[in-house]
Amino acid sequence: MTFDVSAVRALYPALADGHAYLDGAAGTQVPVTVIDAIAGAYRAGIGNLDGAFAASRRSDVIVAQARAAVADLVGGTADGVVFGPSATALAYRMSEALSRQWTTDDEIVVSRLDHDSNIRPWIQAAGRVGALVRWAEIDLATGELPAKQYADLVGPRTRLVAVTAASNAIGTRPDVAAIAGYAHAVGALCYVDGVHATPHVPVDIAALGADFYATSAYKWSGPHVAAVVADPELLETVWPDKLAPSSNAVPWRFERGTLPFADLAGVTAAVDHLAGLAAVGAGDGPGAGGMVAGPTRRERVLASMAAVEAHEAALFARLLDGLAEFGDVTLYGKAARRAPTAFFNIGARDPGAVAGHLASLGVNVWNGDNYAYELCQVLGLQSDGAVRAGIVHYNDASDVDRLLAGVAELAVR
């Protein structure tokens, strides 16, 4: 399997500014194919759905293609893909709808590892109906979210377990399949935040046991659109607040107002971009031309994301080895399975000042709690948080080395 990072980088116009983009965990740059797909939709002319004219039909096709693309990315079915403006907005939408079925006898489980968007909407929904909230805790020494604690956290009253597939701060990838197993054993649903995991690993929502899987396209080279993927049969059992004249059908009834059609064309282009990554720079991609049917897009996504995972793992090892050379650098979390995201502080230095120094060197990193609010509380970092350097597939060794050189100007060996 080839992964030619310089050929991949050449597809991203924004990278030409020479910055080391290690801020991908907060949003990636987009390849030219995504830019062209969005511009192309507007250029061709789009209309609202279900109209009698061609521009409307183009939007119908764009939506259908985007649902199929996201389904291929995560292993779902197109009819189970619900689009929304952000994973946060969708978590609120789903929590409002699901909690209509909860009572004061019910319980939900959230985790201290999660981004606040997979915690607060559930707590607020539970609060409105008087359901009890239980907390899964992280092991502070390792940053792991031990799955075994769920044996005590879930029970016959549990209706929902919300958990992340990867921490956007310390990278921890919990054993979601095991956690979902505990939920399903008592008839509860598992809502998985896949926003941070999706750009880094092959995703199979069935293998994860995710009843709902949230993902945001802007974290994987697409536009600012998010999706929740679920079994359409499950969605049939859930009723959100909706307008009287809007469709009652699944998945449409979960989508409020008019969809962002041009951006959805970009979503499809982003999935196609990911599906082609392993073949970029390797001449014709698998299945190109010829009479023999090539691999499906789902198969190409899985192969590409495996190549992405290996590429990112090598860069992450380089980053961790480099940071380990500094005596006053504190790295938070050392989970066995991690997304390639480093969360660290340099002595008592203000993380914002460190990020500012790195920015002056052309290195883009984030600082703060990055909305891993509960995690930062238990780590004692509060809102100052730490510095976050996140690797994505278009990063290369020079990005990592420039970060380490910048850290070396502030840290002691």
Residues in touch with ligand PLP (CB under 6 A): 26, 86-88, 115, 117, 164, 168, 193, 195-196, 216, 226
Q: Least distance in Å: CB of 328 to ligand PLP?
A: 28
Question: Would you say 117 or 149 has its CB closer to ligand PLP?
Answer: 117
Q: Least distance in Å: CB of 80 to ligand PLP?
A: 19
Question: Would you say 29 or 216 has its CB closer to ligand PLP?
Answer: 216
Q: Least distance in Å: CB of 25 to ligand PLP?
A: 6
From 246, 268, 256, select the one nearest 71 (Cα to Cα). Answer: 268
27: which residues sit within 8 A by CB, 6+ positions away? 218, 219, 224
Q: Least distance in Å: CB of 216 to ligand PLP?
A: 4
Q: Least distance in Å: CB of 241 to ligand PLP?
A: 20
Q: Least distance in Å: CB of 273 to ligand PLP?
A: 19
Q: Least distance in Å: CB of 294 to ligand PLP?
A: 32
Question: Would you say 9 or 167 has its CB closer to ligand PLP?
Answer: 167
Q: Least distance in Å: CB of 293 to ligand PLP?
A: 35
Distance CA(348)–CA(44), nearest Å, equals 54
Q: Least distance in Å: CB of 117 to ligand PLP?
A: 4
Question: Would you say 31 or 194 has its CB closer to ligand PLP?
Answer: 194
84: its two tokens? 């929304």
Question: Would you say 170 or 308 has its CB closer to ligand PLP?
Answer: 170
Q: Least distance in Å: CB of 330 to ligand PLP?
A: 21
Distance CA(5)–CA(367), nearest Å, equals 26
Strands 132-136 and 107-111: parallel
Question: Would you say 166 or 301 has its CB closer to ligand PLP?
Answer: 166
Cα separations (Å) of 316 from 191, 198, 295? 28, 17, 30
- Through-space distance between the first and last CA atoms of the chain, rounded to whole angstroms: 37
Question: Would you say 86 or 247 has its CB closer to ligand PLP?
Answer: 86
Question: Would you say 227 or 403 has its CB closer to ligand PLP?
Answer: 227
Question: Would you say 194 or 406 has its CB closer to ligand PLP?
Answer: 194
Distance CA(29)–CA(399), nearest Å, equals 15
Question: Would you say 89 or 331 has its CB closer to ligand PLP?
Answer: 89
From 405, 402, 403, select the one nearest 389 (Cα to Cα). Answer: 403
